[in-house]
Amino acid sequence: MADNTKGLADVVAASTAVSDIDGRAGRLFYRGYDIHDLAGHATFEETAHLLQRGKLPNRAELQAFGDELVAGRELGPLVSANVAEIAGKQKPMEALRSLVSLASADDPDRDSVAPEADLRKAARLTAQQPLLVARYHAARSGKGVPEADPSLSIAGNFLLQVAGHAPSAREAEIFDECLVLHADHTMNASTFAARVCAATLSDMHSAIVAAIGTLKGPLHGGANEQVMKTLESISPDGVAQAVRDKLAAGEKIMGFGHRVYKTEDPRATHLRRMSEELSGDDPKYYRMSKEMEEVVFETKGLYPNVDFYAASVYHYLGIPTDLFTAVFSISRMSGWTAHVIEQHADNRLIRPDSEYIGERDQKWKPIDER
Ligand code: COA
């Protein structure tokens, strides 16, 4: 295999109308809409409708979709009966992998790959994911989950249910924008995993379980948690030195670099602004992040990706660090499910080839002669 195709770099693995990236210009589009026009304007609910149902909703469609999300939010008996035990034994992303798998048993459309069933499951999974994270966090903290506030969005209710107090209107808006920014991103590793699973005509929950397991890794969604750990582990006066030491030791700096973007990740532009706005009278992590960004660029020419400023933003919003990747999954659920719908609608098994690099012409020996 040529070195430049290792990791399938630049290989087109599917056709999609869900999202598009121009890596050279640093532009991202959801169904043709520029992320800079959606961020801060479209809500996460409108964005999920756009991704899953192919169009921005009008008022009536948004109302109907919102009602479907609220109706689909309730967790079924199998999930409810097991969340406490799982919370005691598994870390957040492991727990989500288990809980989404259990949720399929409670889903009335569990096995169907019919288009209408996929749309219903996409809405239910999008509505349930924030509640799964909140229920997990409450169970491990020995607390209950506050009732959802019908006047709040998915973003506002998540902050209410995880931080335990009603967010300010601005906090809810900022978190909503975070969800919009993370909603979809072409053929990223977890979406590809979901599509490979869906392309066997397996069901949507199975595809989402594959995606969650893939998002968990530190080279993908796990990077935002690692960014926060890095910020917490270095002294505010020693940022430049710590970055240089890590690079000299051959370590990667989490939250930097991207397979596709050759310039600034457009999502990072918004997240940097949000981090600055939220930093207020606690500017430590924002300032450290800015300095890290400068040093990494000077030393390696790398730009921050979506995970870099998301870390300080989530920190300022009061979200526990070990839930950062789970928060990513709340948003990306809207994109994953859109891709599963698209895959099922025009399917062909995804089965690439491999280059064999092992021994050849081996001679068989019975076990006692080996
Ligand atoms: N810190 C330091 N060096 C980095 C780096 C980082 N975050 N990201 C890439 N590089 C360097 C690699 O060491 C490599 O250098 P080399 O050619 O001298 O060996 C070169 O840049 C190419 O990196 P590679 O890992 O092969 O690129 P990729 O396209 O396979 O990987 C990422 C893309 C995102 C996985 C990679 O940039 C990375 O690991 N980033 C950190 C994890 C992260 O933030 N993930 C979230 C992505 S949204």
Residue nearest to atom 20 of ligand 1 (CA): 257
CA 28 to chain centroid:
16
Instruction: Tell me the CA–centroid distance for residue 253 and ligand 1, in Å.
Output: 8
Q: Name the closest-CA residue to atom 32, ligand 1.
A: 258
Contacts of 44 (CB under 8 A, 6+ apart): 153, 154, 155, 176, 179, 180, 183, 331, 334
How many Å apart are CA 258 and CA 267, to the nearest integer? 12
Tell me, in angstroms, the distance from the centre of ligand 1 to residue 254's CA.
9
Q: Identify which of 267, 97, 266 has the alpha carbon closest to the alpha carbon of residue 179.
A: 267
pLDDT > 80? residue 5: no
Q: What percent of the chain has pLDDT over 90?
A: 97
Contact present, 265 and 181 (Cβ < 8 Å): no
| Centre of ligand 1 from the C-alpha of residue 34, in Å | 26
Best residue among 5, 181, 188, 219 to mutate for probing ligand 1, ranked by most atoms within 8 Å of CB: 219
pLDDT for 1 equals: 62
Told to judge if 176 belongs to the known catalytic residues of this protein, a careful annotator would answer no
User: What pLDDT shows up at residue 163?
Assistant: 83
Q: Which of the following is catalytic: 107, 109, 176, 307? A: 307
pLDDT digits (tens, 9 = 90+) for 286-300: 999 999 999 999 999
Find, among 211, 316, 299, 213, the residue nearest to 256 by Cα.
Answer: 299
Conformational region of residue 9, where left means phi above 0, alpha means psi within -120 to 50, and beta covers everything else: beta
Atom of ligand 1 nearest to the CA of 247: 2
Residue nearest to atom 31 of ligand 1 (CA): 259
Is the per-residue pLDDT at 2 higher than 70? no
**Catalytic residue from among 22, 36, 220, 322:** 220
**Residues 303-311, mean pLDDT to the nearest whole number:** 97
- 330, containing H or E segment: helix 324-345
pLDDT of res. 321? 97
Inter-axis angle of helices 324-345 and 306-316, to 10 degrees? 130
Indicate which residue of 258, 315, 339, 344 is catalytic.
258
pLDDT digits (tens, 9 = 90+) for 230-273: 999 999 999 999 999 999 999 999 999 999 999 999 999 999 99
Q: Residue with the nearest Cα to atom 23 of ligand 1?
A: 257
List residues near ligand 1 (CB under 6 A).
Answer: 7, 219-220, 223, 252-259, 300, 302, 305-307
Residue 4 has pLDDT above 80, yes or no: no
Does the annotation count 106 as an active-site position?
no
Residues belonging to the chain: 370
User: pLDDT (tens digit, 9 = 90+) per residue, 308-359?
Assistant: 999 999 999 999 999 999 999 999 999 999 999 999 999 999 999 999 999 9
The residue whose CA is least distant from atom 12 of ligand 1 is: 252
- Of the candidates 308, 302, 300, the residue with the CA atom closest to the CA atom of residue 247: 300
Reported as a single tens digit per residue, the pLDDT across 141-170 is 999 999 999 999 999 999 999 987 899 999
For residues 211 and 336, the answer to whether their CB atoms sit within 8 Å is yes
- Classify residue 29 by its DSSP letter: E
- CA gap 178, 331 in Å, rounded: 8
Q: For residue 222, name the pLDDT band (cuts at 50, 70, 90).
A: very high
| Catalytic (active site) residue 258 | yes
